[in-house]
Structure formats: C-alpha cells, structure tokens
Structure 1
C-alpha cells in the first residue's frame, strides 16, 4: 500500500484492495452455497439438517474468527508506522490463540451440541443429519482458525490478491469433495448432507497448507519471518489482540447468532419452510459478501492511514467505501427483484419450496440495503480500532429490536415465518443509522487530535 493524493488514486487503491477480497469472500460463500445447494438436491431432509447444523456452527465459527481478525488493524497500523519488525511476533501470538480457541470450541461442542439438538422439535432424520454434519466439520476447526490468522496477515499487507488465489484454488477442491461424499461418486460412500461436512473439513486443511507454503516462500511475506522462529505464548500479546478482537468477534457473533436463533425458532414450522428460509438466507449471505468485502477493505485502508497519521485520507476512504456499498446494493436489489424465481430454482426442485424461497427473497432485498450502510461503517470503525460501541450497537440492533419484533410478528400476526425477517430488517436499519453517527463522531475526534 502507498499514500494517495487524488480521488482517482484512492479509487485505484481501493479497487486493488477490494476486488480480490470480494472474489475471495464470494468463493468462500460459494463453499457454503454448494454445501447447501448440493445437500438440497439430495433431499429436503438433508437441506433442513444442514440448515439446522449451520445455524449452530456459523455463529461460533464467524464469531471466533472475528476475534482472530483483530490482527488485521494491528498489522496494518504497524506497517503504516513503519514498524514491520514487530509484525511476526503479533502473528505468532495470534496463531497460538487460534489453536487455543479451536480446542475450547471442540470441547464445548461435544458437550452441549447433543443437548441442543435433542431439545429441538425435529424429525429424527433431520436431527441425525445435523448431528453428523457438525461432528464431521469439527475436524477442520483448528486449520480454519489458523488460516483466519494467516489470511488476516496477508490482507493487512494489502496483498489481498494472494488470499483470492488461495481461495480460488480450494473452491473446486470443495465442490469435488462434495460430489464424492454427498452423492457417492466414484465408489465413495453416499452420505448426503453429512458428506458436505466431511468435504468442508478436508478443504480447511487444504487451504491452511497452501497459505503456510506461500507465506514461507513468497515475497513480501518471507521478509517478515513468520515461521523462522517459534515464539512462546504471551498473555500480554493476547491481551492486546483480545482487546480489539473480542468486540469484533462478538459483534459478528451477535449478527450471525440472531439468524441462528431465527432458524432454531423456525423448527416449529414444517420442513419445507425451514428449507426455504435456509435457502433464502444462504443467497442473502452471498449478497452480503459485497458490503462485507468493503468492510474488510476499509479496515485495512483506514487502519493504514490512521497509523500513518493521515486522518483526512482515512475519512475519504470511509466515505468512498460506504457510497460504493450503497450503489451496489441498489443494483443487486433490482436484479434480485427481477430474477427471484430463477434464484429460488437453484436451491430446490420441489414447487412448494421454490415458491416459499421466492417470498423470502423479497425480504432479503430490504435487508441487504441496510447492510450496505452498517457493515462498511463497522469496517471503518475497526480501522480506527474503535470497536466497543459497534459491539453494543450490534446487540441493540439484533437482540433488543430485531429478534423481539420478529418473534411478535411471527407468532401473533399473519406474517408467520416472514415476521422474523421483518423484525431483523427493522433492527438493522436502526443500527445502520446509529453506526454511521458513531463513525462521524470518531472521525471528528481523530481530526482534532
């Protein structure tokens, strides 16, 4: 990365950082998409089972990964201050922390998941698929968390193209493994939705190995010496990382967990409604990759400019990113409105399920417009290392406003399952406005300093 002096220069650097991140996020989302899509083509029972399993897995995975992503603003600000010699130590500590978090997740998961699934009103086969999917994917938790640290390090240096290449290599690996383990091609066992969990676990190990090789051998990563010396664990370093990472992780957890809560609450509806909700949510998550990628780009760019003491440039990047997200959200809204039935048909061959998916997608349009403001704004705030207020606003948006409103609409009005989506849209819209106000306040504070 380098200092920019003109609007065109900022646009160019923003695009250089953003486009590979977007491709990477779309590819990562495609892994979940193919898990859901290919399981749904196997049967609606497998689609519902994978839906329940991912509603438990995704909040944990994204929340703890968010904690580890706290290394991004740390590294970007160190690079902005020309303190590259301190980077390897910070990355090593983050790797140790990733292993510890993974072990804790495995231990807690094996203790509590059976009870959670047992308490839900699920058909026995749906419960079996969900349980075995979680057991399979748990084999990939350690490499997934370690890769999150390495990818955050790569991206913080502005080398987002490398992350893109790694992910694009592993995407066909995951799809191929899905074909083998879900459908039983070439003599492999025909496992249905459970096979998607096995395929994902193997993919996580593959992506970690590729990242380690690249960082160890390719410039500019070799100059940092990440793997040249084994650093001992340091609670002081973990404390600094957790101070930034925990609010980020919990903000992400609160957002993903509320969707998990909605999916679990929907277990009282029939299997077709659960499957349709999950399919629509899966596609909405794919659209979410646009604002999320801009969010991650702004964390890197704003962090670099703040570390260099150029707060005016940091603010210009923030406005550029948020404006871009809003424009893209309006474009995707038009496309989704016009092609909703075709999108629904990607997830199921059953007419009843397709019709329900199409209805859910209408609400996804409004949801992603609010996301276009809230998510990039969070990314800019992370670049300033201002993370605590964003965490509280996430709690307010989803758990104080969104879920309660959704529950009332779903259970006491004719909206039924759609009421949950209306509630979440309401909460996110309020959060987006408050988040934007916080960013303006933080920028003014840094400008005065």
Structure 2
C-alpha cells in the first residue's frame, strides 16, 4: 500500500489489490464448487448429503473465520499510521486465536453434530453422507484457520498476489484428491460425498504449510520475523482483536447462515429439490466471490487511508469499489440468464434436478444484485473499524425480515420452495440499503471530525 493523489492512481492501486484477491476467492470457492459438482456426479444422495453438510459447515466457518478478518484492518491501519513494530505480535496472537477458535469448533462438533442431524428429516443415506463429510473435513480445520490468519497479514501488506499463487497451487491439488476419494481411484475406496470432505481436509493442510513457509522465508514477510520470537498467548491482545473481529464474524454469520437455514428448511422437500437448490446456490455463491473480493480490497485500502487520517481518500476508494461491484453484478446477472441451462447441467444429469436448478437460478439473478451492493459497503465499514452497527443491521435484515418472509412466501403462496429465494432477495436488499445509510453517516462524521481538528 502507498498514498495516492489522483483517481487514476487509486484505480490502478485498487485493481492491483483487487485482482489477486478475486482470483484467490474464486479459487477458494472453486474447491467447494468442485466438491459439489463432483459429488453430484456420484449421485443425487451424495449431492444432497454434501449440500446439508456444507449448509452446517459454511456458516460456522465463515462466521468464526470472520473474527480473524480483524487482522486485516488492524494491520492496515498500523501500516498507514507507521506503527509497523506492532505488527509481529498482532499476527502471532492472531495465530494463537485461530487455533483456539478451531479447537472450540471441534469440541462443539463432537457433542452437537449427531443431535442436529437427528432433528432433520433426512433420508438415512443422506444423513450418513452429511455426517462423515463433516467429520473428515474437520480434521483440517486447525491448518485452515492458521492459513486464514496468515492470509489476512499477507493481504494487509498489499501482497495479495501471494495468496493468489497459493490458491492456484491448491486448486488442482483439491481436484486431484476429489477424483481419488470421491470416485475411488489409485487404489482408494469410492467414498462419494464423504470423499469430498477428505479432499478438502488434505487441501487445507497443503495451503497452511505453503503459507507458513512463505511468511517464514520470503520477503517482505520474513522481515517482520513473525516466527522469530516466542511469546505467550495474551488474553488482552485477543480481546483487542475480538472487539473488531466478533462483530465482523457475527455479521458474516447472520448473512451466510440464512442461506444454510433455507437449505435446512428445504429438507422437508424431496432429495431432488434439495439437490437443485444446492446447485443453484452453489453457482450463485461462486459469483458472489466478485463483490466479496471487492469488499476485502476495500477493507485494506480504506483501512490504510483511515490509519493515515486521509478521510477524503478513504471515501473515494469506497465509491470506486461500490461502482465496480454494481457493474460486475449486472454482467453476472446477464450471464446467469443466458447460460442457466448449461450451468444446471454441470451439477446433475437428472432432468428433474436440471429443470428445478434452472428455475432457482432465475431468482439468483436478483439476490446477487443486492449482494453486489451490500458486500462492498461492509468492506468499507470494516476499513473504518465500524462493525457494531453492521452486526445489528445484519441480524435484523436477514433473520427478522429475510427468513420469516421466505417462510411465508414458501408456505402460503404459489411459489413453493422458490419462496425462500424471494425471502433471501428481500433480506439482502434491506441489508444493502441500511448499510449504505450507515456508510454515509460514518463518512460524514469522519469529515466533520477532520474539520474540527483543523
């Protein structure tokens, strides 16, 4: 990161940060994409099992991992404020916190997984696949969380191309492991959807080891000597990260878990409906990596400018990021409309699943437009470290508006299971509008404070 004096320079720097993040996010989600697609080729039960397992796992992972995202704005503001000497300890404590969070999830899963699955009206085979998909996947949770802590540090330095390279290396590794364990190649048993969990776990270990080696040996990361000293875990340091990270994590959890809740509520429908919904949501979520990447880039850029007290520059980056996201979302919506048939055929060869997937994809056009507007605003607000109000807004818009309205549409209108998608669109739209109002307020207050100090 470096200061800029014109919009042209900001465009160049923002794209320099954004493009590697985008490739990284697309690559990371491609792992889930290939898990779903390759499991679907193994059978509808495997696709439904991975769908249910993912619906339980993804909200927990993204929510808890959201806590670690605090490292990015904290480090970015330290760099902008020229306080680099504080960065090594911040990252070390972030790694300790990542391990503690991972162990918490493992312990909770040990006690809660079976009771949760028993509460769901799943076919026996689907329930078994879901259970063991999660058990095998969770064996890689500690390296996954350590990697994400290191990634936040790497990205905050503006070196987003490094995490891009790591992801591009790990993607073929994940596909290879999927091929081996889902379909039973090279002497391995054919495990179907369960094999996707093994493949994901092994890939998490791979990415963590590569990231550790890079931070230890490659400049400029090695100059911070992250592993050059041993310090005890500090609860006070954890608290500083948690104050920023917990609201981020819960806001992300409220947003992502509404998708999981919809999938779980659809468990009352047929296996084909669950499979079609998962296929459509999987592809739409893949496209969501566009605004999510812009959001992450904005956190870094805005955080850097805020740390240096350049409020006008922070505001310009916010407008730039939101504009880019909206344009890309319109292109994505057109792509879904034009290519929904070949997209649906990627996930299944069953004609009923294909037709339902195409139907759900039309609704996906509208909610990804709302996502494209709201996600960059969240990223900008994180750059300001303004996270508490965002948490409240996320809960209200998604859980008090989106999910209840989806249930009503699904149960009491002709829409049926598609009614849940209408609820998602409603919740995301309300969230985007309220977040925009909050960003305008934060920027106005920042400008007013600058005038007073002058």
* Bin for the TM-score computed over the shorter chain: over 0.9
Following superposition, the deviation at residue 119 of structure 1 comes to 1.2
Shift of 1:372: 1.1
Query: Counterpart of 2:51?
Result: 51
Partner of 2:238: 238
2: CA distance, partners of 1:332 / 1:267: 29
Q: Counterpart in 2 of 1:419?
A: 419
Aligned partner of 2:144 in structure 1 is: 144
The aligned counterpart of 1:16 is 16
| 1:413-438 deviation line (CA, Å, top 9, x unaligned) | 11110000001101111111110010
Q: Give the 5 Å matches for 1:370-409.
A: 370-409=370-409
Counterpart CA distance in 2 for 1:61 and 1:230 is 28
Corresponding residue for residue 184 of structure 1: 184
SS at 1:339 equivalent: helix
Equivalence for 1:325: 325
SS of residue paired to 1:186: coil
Q: Following the alignment from structure 1 to structure 2, what is the Cα–Cα distance between the partners of residues 323 and 18? A: 14
Aligned match of 2:32: 32
| Cross-structure match for 2:452 | none
Q: Which residue of 1 aligns with 2:160?
A: 160
Distance in 2 of aligned mates of 1:252 and 1:173:
28
Report the Cα distance in structure 2 between the residues aligned to 1:143 and 1:234, rounded to whole angstroms. 21
Deviation track 1:225-257 (CA, whole Å, cap 9, x = no partner) reads 101111211111111100000000001111111
Write out per-residue CA displacement over residues 17-44 of structure 1, whole angstroms, 9 at most, x where no aligned residue: 0000000000001000000000000000
Stretches of structure 1 lacking an aligned partner (at least 5 in a row): none
How well do the aligned residues superpose, as a CA RMSD in angstroms? 0.6
What secondary structure does 1:436 align onto?
A: helix
Deviations 1:112-171 (A, max 9, x none): 110010111111000000000011001011011111100000000000000000010010
Cα distance in 2 for partners of 1:198, 1:397 equals: 36
- Taking the aligned partners of 1:256 and 1:442, their CA distance within structure 2 comes to 25
Deviation at 1:12, TM superposition (A): 0.2
TM superposition shift of 1:109: 0.4
**1:312: which partner in 2?**
312
Post-superposition, which runs of at least 4 consecutive aligned residues in structure 1 deviate over 6 A? Answer: none
The 2-side partners of 1:55 and 1:427 are apart by 18
Deviation at 1:110, TM superposition (A): 1.0
Matched, 1:440 2:434: no
- 1:2 aligned counterpart, secondary structure: coil
**Mapped partners of 1:81, 1:7: distance in 2:** 22
Alpha-carbon distance between aligned partners in 2 of 1:236 and 1:107, rounded to the nearest angstrom: 24
Where in structure 2 are there 5+ consecutive unaligned residues?
450-454
- Number of residue-to-residue matches in the alignment: 449
Correspondence 1:226-305 to 2 at 5 A: 226-305=226-305
Structure 1 residue 383: Cα displacement? 0.1
3-state SS of 2:189 partner: coil
Rounded Cα–Cα distance in structure 2 between residues aligned with 1:14 and 1:90: 25
Write the deviation string for residues 244-303 of structure 1: whole angstroms up to 9, x where unpaired.
000000011111111111111100000000000000000011010000000000000000
Q: Which residue of 1 aligns with 2:202?
A: 202
Deviations 1:386-430 (A, max 9, x none): 001111111111101000000011111111100000011011111
SS of the residue corresponding to residue 117 of structure 1 reads helix
The residue correspondences of 1:79-158 to structure 2 (distance < 5 A) are: 79-158=79-158
- What is the TM-score normalised by the length of structure 1? 0.99
For normalisation by structure 2, the TM-score amounts to 0.98
- Aligned to 1:187, the other structure's residue is in SS state coil
Q: CA deviation at 1:97?
A: 0.7
Return the alpha-carbon distance in structure 2 between the equivalents of residues 420 and 161 of structure 1: 38
